[in-house]
């Protein structure tokens, strides 16, 4: 017998979940993944089960959810089937219940209490042992450059850098080309790092004052610049700080920065960027008053830093297109589609490299946003900040690549550098 009464509203399916398409015995299934990592349990659902689960909104009773399902699917499913599914989802921790809320609160409190942001992907996405990790990163650099040594670091640090945030296995050479562009330059005084908040909380920019730990040492936060930038937003800058806990887009940059500069790595300000769609829709974010004011204020802060002689590097850890079944598309990945993705990516990269942030953003949301550019808002922010430094030069594309997604699809990424006099 189900622990949930059939005549009361059923608890809602949690929102911070990812449904990954897969196949089992020739049948389409969906594997649910917890983006908040409150549970390590997995659950596989059929297409029908996924539709049923999506109807759990916290307001519908079992009878109401079934009526809607049976009408939509032209099927006849009984109460017991739905309640069994609800019990399974609850046991796996995928429903929004008081127990889950309590677990989330405890995890957030533990994260808030820690002075540092732990390396969440050490030992899984990359080696946990410093020596092994160093060999891993250096192998990517050697493969990308045939072992050639970089020039002596005599030039000033560039104003901006675009690096991927895809896993190292697929994007290692592109990371190497990005960070090699820093190796023959003197380190900046501070880095403003912009990553993608994949779960996209309400805050457009989410700040944390926590140092990022890596197996190669911690990347510390520049407290002065953190304070100056975080005061320019109209909301509590740490309201959604929890997204830093399990987000890889900046952790991967921290690893490469520590490999590049070691204990001499400059401090940074890590900022995760949510989608601007709720503010700008299909228009450029410059048309959204709150976003535009904050970006202008951020730029003024960076110019003030530069006027004091501090060299600022704006680092963007972003990927580009996400196309295919893995990302909700009902289409086959073909060479023709891959070429279309590359042609469209390269066209929008022209806007990015000329610091036309509005043009780049409009290209990303145009045509129904079919490429699903996950770095759209983060790179838009980065382009605006790079341009605010006045002496930034047009960017140079260092690398462009595509990689298959194991669950069916393709992801594209690029590396670029923005020099300065």
Contact 153, 188 (CB under 8 A): no
Task: Name beta bridge partners: 403.
Answer: 411
Helices (H), ranges, 262-320 = 277-280, 289-307
Which three-class secondary structure state does DSSP give residue 27?
A: strand
What's the pLDDT at 244? 96
What's the pLDDT at 299? 98
Contacts of 414 (CB under 8 A, 6+ apart): 162, 164, 174, 320, 345, 349, 397, 398, 399, 400, 401
185: region left, alpha or beta (phi > 0 left; psi from -120 to 50 alpha) = beta
What's the pLDDT at 47? 84
Q: How far is CA 84 from CA 1, 56, 120, 259, in A?
A: 9, 13, 34, 50
Which uninterrupted H or E stretch holds 251?
helix 248-261
DSSP letters, 98-122, are HHHHHHHHHHHHHHHH-SEE--TTB
Walk me through the domains of the chain, giving residue ranges and CATH numbers. Answer: 17-105 (1.10.10), 116-418 (3.40.830.10)
What's the pLDDT at 151? 65
What's the pLDDT at 82? 86
What's the pLDDT at 149? 66
- Retrieve residue 312's tokens: 């600022």
Rounded distance between C-alpha atoms, residue 36 and residue 33, angstroms? 9
- Retrieve residue 31's tokens: 């594997």
Contacts of 283 (CB under 8 A, 6+ apart): 362
Strands 116-117 and 211-212: parallel
Per-position pLDDT tens, the chain of length 421: 567 776 789 999 998 888 877 878 878 888 888 888 889 888 999 888 888 899 999 999 988 888 888 887 776 777 788 889 999 999 999 999 999 999 988 988 888 889 999 999 999 999 999 999 999 999 999 988 875 666 666 688 999 999 999 999 999 999 999 999 999 889 999 999 999 999 999 999 999 999 999 999 999 999 999 999 999 999 999 999 999 999 999 999 999 999 999 999 999 999 999 999 999 988 999 999 999 999 999 999 999 999 999 999 999 999 999 999 888 888 889 999 999 999 999 999 999 999 999 999 999 999 999 999 999 999 999 999 999 998 888 999 999 999 999 778 999 999 999 998 7
């Amino acid at each position: 017998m189900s622990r949930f009464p059939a005549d009361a509203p059923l608890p809602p399916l949690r929102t911070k979940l990812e449904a990954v398409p897969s196949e089992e015995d020739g049948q389409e299934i969906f594997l649910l993944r917890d983006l908040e990592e409150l549970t390590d349990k997995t659950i596989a659902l059929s297409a029908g089960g996924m539709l049923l689960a999506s109807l759990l909104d916290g307001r519908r009773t079992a009878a109401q959810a079934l009526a809607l399902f049976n009408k939509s699917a032209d099927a006849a499913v009984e109460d017991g089937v739905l309640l069994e599914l609800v019990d399974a989802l609850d046991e796996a921790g995928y429903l929004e219940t008081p127990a889950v809320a309590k677990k989330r609160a405890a995890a957030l409190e533990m994260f808030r209490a820690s002075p540092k942001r732990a390396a969440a992907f050490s030992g899984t996405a990359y080696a946990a042992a410093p020596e092994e990790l160093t060999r891993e990163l250096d192998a990517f650099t050697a493969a990308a450059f045939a072992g050639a040594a970089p020039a002596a670091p005599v030039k000033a640090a560039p104003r901006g850098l675009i690096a991927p945030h895809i896993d190292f296995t697929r994007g290692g050479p592109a990371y190497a080309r990005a960070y090699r562009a820093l190796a023959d330059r003197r380190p900046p005084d501070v880095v403003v790092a912009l990553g993608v908040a994949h779960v996209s909380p309400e805050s457009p920019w989410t700040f944390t004052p926590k140092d990022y730990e890596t197996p190669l040492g911690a990347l510390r936060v520049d407290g002065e610049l953190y304070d100056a930038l975080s005061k320019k937003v109209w909301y509590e800058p740490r309201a959604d700080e929890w997204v830093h806990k399990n987000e890889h887009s900046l952790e991967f940059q921290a690893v490469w920065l520590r490999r590049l500069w070691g204990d001499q790595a400059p401090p940074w300000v890590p900022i995760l960027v949510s989608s601007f769609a709720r503010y700008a829709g299909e228009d450029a974010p410059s048309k959204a008053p709150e976003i535009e004011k904050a970006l202008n204020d951020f730029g003024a802060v960076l110019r003030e830093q530069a006027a004091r002689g501090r060299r600022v590097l704006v680092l963007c850890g972003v990927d580009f297109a996400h196309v295919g079944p893995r990302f909700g598309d009902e289409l086959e990945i073909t060479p023709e589609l891959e070429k279309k993705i590359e042609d469209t990516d390269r066209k929008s990269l022209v806007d990015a490299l000329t610091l036309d942030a509005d043009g780049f953003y409009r290209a990303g949301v145009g045509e129904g946003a079919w490429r699903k550019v996950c770095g759209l808002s983060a790179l838009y922010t980065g382009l605006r900040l790079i341009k605010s430094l006045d002496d930034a030069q047009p960017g140079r594309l260092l690398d462009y690549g595509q990689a298959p997604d194991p669950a069916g699809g393709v992801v594209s990424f690029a590396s670029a550098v923005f020099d300065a006099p």
